[in-house]
Amino acid sequence: MIEENKQIFVVDDDESVCRALSVMLATYGFIVDTFTSAEDFLKVVTNNVPGSLVLDIHMPGLGGWEMLQQLVKSGSRRAVIIISAEKNETLNNRALKSGAVGFLQKPFDGQALVDLINKSAK
């Protein structure tokens, strides 16, 4: 894996999800920063900071869909992987049409997430 693609940002309002993903991704050698709101992420991380983003869609305040839309409009080239506990067959298509590189339904296999991250980094 290319060194600059080791940075992962996780945005999920559930702190336990942030902790679990941080620990899991760190075991694969990623550098992980977590945020419990889209607003906090957008305040801290600019578009020129490299890395991939794991983004929950259902959050208070600015939701994942709206955040993804903002990122795309701002010209961000960061790979975004949408995650959600919602059981809806159309979410994968919506995520891809919205500019994400993939969608995973919670709970998901850690290797599936790592595979998506690695695939999007190429």
Extents of the domains making up the chain: 3-120
Q: Is the CATH number 3.40.50.720 carried by domain 3-120?
A: no
In angstroms, rounded to a whole number, what is the distance separating the alpha carbons of residues 122 and 120?
6
Task: Indicate the Cα dihedral angle 12, 33, 101, 96, nearest 10°.
Answer: 20
CA dihedral over 100, 72, 28, 12, signed as positive or negative? negative
Q: Which long-range contacts (CB under 8 A, 24 or more apart) does 19-23 make?
A: 21/54, 21/113
Q: Find the helix or strand (DSSP H, E) in which 111 lies.
A: helix 110-120
- Per-residue pLDDT tens listing for the chain (122 residues): 334 569 999 999 999 999 999 999 999 999 999 999 999 999 999 988 999 999 999 999 999 999 999 999 999 989 999 999 988 888 989 999 999 999 999 999 999 999 999 988 76
